[in-house]
Structure 1
Amino acid sequence: MAFQRPKATQSIYEPEFVQALFNEMSLTYERMNTITSFGFSNRWRRQCVFEIDIQPGQTVVDLMSGMGETWGYICPKIKTNGALLGVDFSEGMLHYANQKRQRKQYASYAITIHKQNVLASTLPDQCADHVVVAFGLKTFNDDQISQLAKEIYRILKPGGQFSCVEVSVPKPALLRAFYLFYLRRIIPILGALFLGNPQTYRMLGIYCAQFKNTNQALQLFENAGLICRQTNYFFGCASGIVGEKPIT
């Protein structure tokens, strides 16, 4: 389905709406993320991956993998004897992920892409040594985040680790005011320049403002049985959750 403004009776968290949004943005998403975050999105992805102890030969699941933007930080850690499983439901994003997988940089790695809703994937129980979630939490409501936490618990091996990162609203008042203005006003203008449609990138600002940070998500992850701690990056402009599945 083509992306369009949500109807009055439609939730912006409905999978069909989110899927259409990212299909529409897929052509410019990676470039826009780098430009609008002044390169910080790449730095936060790297920090997210480096929060966990990924070893050669291990299996990493990249949930909401998008265009594979995090693979460049995961692959050097798993080496060519490890496995990377990407899960996403956006055809547009996965089109570019498949192109990336075929590049010389990734040709020697065991990368498998699954076009699935991460909340109802067919990945086997306890298949992952590590799970990474980069910039996907904001498109979920609390019930969906609870489902995601349970899914992470299900696919992690006992003792397995996970790391999530998400753009967040910083606490310092002056920085918060500037940040929200930038999200709500400037990014849609850039979206119009790059994509010809400011509404798509305006939605990212709406998601960020409603998500705020990972405080609430942290509790939901703990409720799912995961051991967690919160991380913060660049004065709270991004925040994350890092933890593990208990061994017993």
Structure 2
Amino acid sequence: MAFYNKKGTNLKKDLTETTVKHVISAEKLPGFRQENKAQYVNRMFTQIAPTYDRVNRLMTFGLDQGWRKTVVAEARLKAGERALDVATGTGDIALALAHQVGSRGKVVGSDFCLEMMLPGPAKAAKAGVGGIVQFMAADAMRLPFASNSFEAVTTGFAMRNVTDIERAFSEMCRVVKPGGRVVCLEVARPRWAIIRWGHQLYFNRIVPMLGRLISGHGEAYTYLPESARNFPPPEELKRIMERAGLTQVSYRLYGLGAAAIHLGVKPSTPGRRDF
């Protein structure tokens, strides 16, 4: 399966040719049109891709950048190692990982939405890591990599968008090397009632309006609070990661509980639980 070329030429054509066939589930997204969730999510991200970074910065008051830096730090990569960023989007985490592994390392950013990755090569070149990061079209639930390929696997704000969360984590566990880390950044619901009320008001009312003004696609940003409400809370997500085969799973809350970073480790021996 081909990677992007470094110059970023014919990117959409390259990606279309390398797209992994998506696994289609019968699951429907509550509150939206009766269409397949994977198709809906792909269409939605295609629409908002050009303004995704700008809306994200505004929507989180820039906090998402710090959270992504924490994800990279938790991956604990060394120079010369290999990393995978699943559902990489425009490549922010992948680029930060590339700075960790250096010129002797390699980072792959994968996503099933082609348009989301189009800015990636230019961003990588500007950041001076164009020769380290490669972007690839792939489904999180069917990763086209051999087992034990990477020292770390990361993902940011992506698990809400897959149709089978446990399967996606199982794939991440499969492709990471024994002893390697899987780090996940996702939205969460604040535990304290007053903060939760403010959080819900902001994401139900302000975020869709902000998204509509900047991207012209308010429906896409109505999806955010809807998907957050239907996403497993941090403790349940921890159990899902454990069922997927990861051990030493832990998490920390950020942004007054609005986001969570989960960390899991692949056992060094199959079937062994490294506590």
Q: Considering the TM-score relative to the shorter chain, is it more than 0.5? A: yes
207-216 vs 177-186, which moves further: 207-216
Give the superposition deviation at 1:58. Answer: 0.5
Give the aligned partner of residue 224 of structure 1: 244
- How many angstroms apart in 1 are the aligned matches of 2:73 and 2:64? 14
- How many angstroms apart in 2 are the aligned matches of 1:83 and 1:170? 36
| Residues 140-185 of structure 1: CA deviation (Å, up to 9, x unaligned) | 35xx111011101110111111111112111111110010111110
1:239 aligns with 2:260: yes
1:55 aligns with 2:78: yes
Residue of structure 2 aligned with 1:19, choices 24, 39, 42: 42
Give the aligned partner of residue 176 of structure 2: 156
After TM superposition, the score normalised by the length of structure 2 is 0.82
Give the superposition deviation at 1:233. Answer: 1.3
Give the superposition deviation at 1:69. Answer: 1.4
Give the aligned partner of residue 192 of structure 1: 212
The 8 Å contact of residues 47 and 217 in structure 2, kept in 1 or not, is answered as no
Give the aligned partner of residue 32 of structure 1: 55
Residue of structure 1 aligned with 2:147, choices 109, 112, 125: 125
List runs of 5+ in structure 2 lacking aligned partners: 1-30, 270-275
- How many angstroms apart in 1 are the aligned matches of 2:255 and 2:32? 32
After TM superposition, the score normalised by the length of structure 1 is 0.91
The 8 Å contact of residues 169 and 212 in structure 1, kept in 2 or not, is answered as no
Residue of structure 1 aligned with 2:203, choices 161, 164, 183: 183
Give the superposition deviation at 1:212. Answer: 5.3
- How many angstroms apart in 2 are the aligned matches of 1:178 and 1:47? 25
User: Could you tell me which amino acid in structure 2 is paired with residue 234 of structure 1?
Assistant: G
| Residues 95-121 of structure 1: CA deviation (Å, up to 9, x unaligned) | 1113323335223x4211111111112
Where 1:209 maps in the other structure, the secondary structure is helix
The 8 Å contact of residues 30 and 69 in structure 1, kept in 2 or not, is answered as no
Give the aligned partner of residue 99 of structure 1: 122
Give the superposition deviation at 1:6. Answer: 3.6
- How many angstroms apart in 2 are the aligned matches of 1:220 and 1:189? 33
User: Could you tell me which amino acid in structure 2 is paired with residue 205 of structure 1?
Assistant: P
1:209 aligns with 2:234: no
Count of residues paired in the alignment? 238
Give the superposition deviation at 1:90. Answer: 0.7
Give the superposition deviation at 1:221. Answer: 1.0
Residue of structure 2 aligned with 1:10, choices 18, 35, 43: 35
- How many angstroms apart in 2 are the aligned matches of 1:30 and 1:67? 8
Residue of structure 1 aligned with 2:159, choices 137, 143, 152: 137
- How many angstroms apart in 2 are the aligned matches of 1:135 and 1:156? 19
The 8 Å contact of residues 180 and 265 in structure 2, kept in 1 or not, is answered as yes
47-56 vs 183-192, which moves further: 47-56
User: Could you tell me which amino acid in structure 2 is paired with residue 188 of structure 1?
Assistant: P
Q: Percent identity?
A: 25
Where 2:119 maps in the other structure, the secondary structure is helix
The 8 Å contact of residues 166 and 213 in structure 1, kept in 2 or not, is answered as no
94-103 vs 52-61, which moves further: 94-103
Give the superposition deviation at 1:30. Answer: 0.7
